[in-house]
Amino acid sequence: MQFLSLAPFIPSGSNFESAKQFFAALGFNITWDGGGYAGFESGECKFILQEYNDKTFAENLMLTVKVDDVAAFRNSVIEKQLPEKFGIKLGAITQQPYGKEVNIIDMAGVCWHFVQ
């Protein structure tokens, strides 16, 4: 048996439509959309955005996304003005034992670790 993919369910927070717009602006493509759930992907990264708002759960959820250039990724978030448009939090680039990373706290409170 072989595991073929992983697609976690990610809470949208209080505004499902705004969360969909944010992830599209971040660079993910909507592959399907139906009734409180939407599939997103970019390259080999996939997740399902769920219309779900549980602050405690969201603030305890973290994901790691590998990127090829963390500085270019961070600069694109700034250039697109995503923190201002969506109220997300964007961290500085830090060096971790597993690589360089920048964190984004999305509108629901989920911490996304983008790692090079």
* Residue ranges of domains in the chain: 9-115
Longest Cα–Cα distance in the chain = 45
**In the Cβ-directed half-sphere of 59, how many Cα atoms lie within 13 Å?**
3
Q: What are the start-end ranges of the E strands in 12-53?
A: 29-33, 37-42, 45-50
Pair 81, 66: CB distance under 8 Å: no
pLDDT digit string (tens) for 69-84? 999 999 999 999 999 9
Q: How confident is the model at residue 63 (pLDDT cuts 50, 70, 90)?
A: very high
Q: How confident is the model at residue 4 (pLDDT cuts 50, 70, 90)?
A: confident
Pair 114, 70: CB distance under 8 Å: yes
Q: Compute CA distances 113 → 42, 70, 72, 106, whole Å.
A: 15, 10, 15, 11
> Does the domain at residues 9-115 carry the CATH identifier 3.10.180.10?
yes
Tokens 């509108």, located at residue: 107
pLDDT digit string (tens) for 18-33? 999 999 999 999 999 9
Q: How confident is the model at residue 49 (pLDDT cuts 50, 70, 90)?
A: very high
